[in-house]
Amino acid sequence: MKKILVFFLVGLFSFFTIHTIVISADGLNNHTANNIQADVAVILGNKVHPNREVSKRLKARLNRGVELYHNKQTPHIIVSGGLGKEGWNEAIVMRDYLLAQNIPLKAIIVDEQGNNTRLTALHTQAIMQQKELKSVIVVSQFYHISRTKLAFKQLNIQKVYGASPTYFEWRDMYALLREWPAYYVYWWTYKKG
């Protein structure tokens, strides 16, 4: 019985390690470095402080979106977020941040109901259908790119690329641990039927 438990734990640890390496490589593989272009970039929301200042993590995502726009890799940016516990709608604050970075209002699409990755994907799909857009660059932290791409592909959006900012913090280690089950929950719950 002890050998079976050890074998199981070693297998589980190996599975976690391989998965973590694969999603990290996918998230850090900067698709846009090769000047890949897409019809739209979608920036996933994150914390906005009570004083309406974006968190460092969200600022890094937004700045990555600004780079994509100014490098002419996308003509449109969707900002997707929900109402945070601090009382601010992330998407509205994100829009205002982009405006301050010389992104024109006509290039910004606001999704105020993007409360999680799945809702962001659903809302983006609807926007892309309405505007006849075919390709997307998802902008989030490196460990979140694979699950976000999965959520978009499950909605039959085939051309999905990733762009992560070069911003790292210690809590990314916890996030990598959390992404392991989250990825498979998304895969199982929303798989094409």
pLDDT in tens, 58-94: 999 999 999 999 999 999 999 999 887 888 889 999 9
**The pLDDT of residue 193 is above 60:** no
Residue 75 CA from chain centroid, whole number: 18
Predicted confidence (pLDDT) per residue in 106-162, tens digit: 999 999 988 899 999 999 999 999 999 999 999 999 888 988 998 999 998 989 999
Q: Are the beta carbons of 161 and 129 closer than 8 angstroms?
A: no
32, pLDDT greater than 90: no
DSSP state of 64: H
Question: How far, in Å, CA of 16 to CA of 177, rounded?
Answer: 8
CATH at residue 155: 3.40.50.620
Per the CB < 8 A criterion, the answer to whether 86 and 37 are in contact is no
Both structure tokens of 23: 């999603």
pTM assigned to the model:
0.87
What is the gyration radius of the CA atoms in the chain, in angstroms? Answer: 17
Alpha-carbon distance of 128 to 108, in angstroms, equals 13
Lowest mean pLDDT among 1-5, 7-11, 98-102, 149-153: 7-11
Domain that holds residue 18: 2-189
Asked if 118 and 110 touch (Cβ cutoff 8 Å), the reply is no
State the amino acid at position 116 in one-letter form: N
Q: How many domains does the chain have?
A: 1
At 34, is the pLDDT very low, low, confident or very high (cuts 50, 70, 90)? low
DSSP secondary structure code for residue 55 in this structure: P
Q: Which is it for strands 108-111 and 135-139: parallel, antiparallel or unpaired?
A: unpaired
3-state helix, strand, coil in the chain (%, to 5): 55, 15, 30
- What are the structure tokens assigned to 27, written together? 């998230």
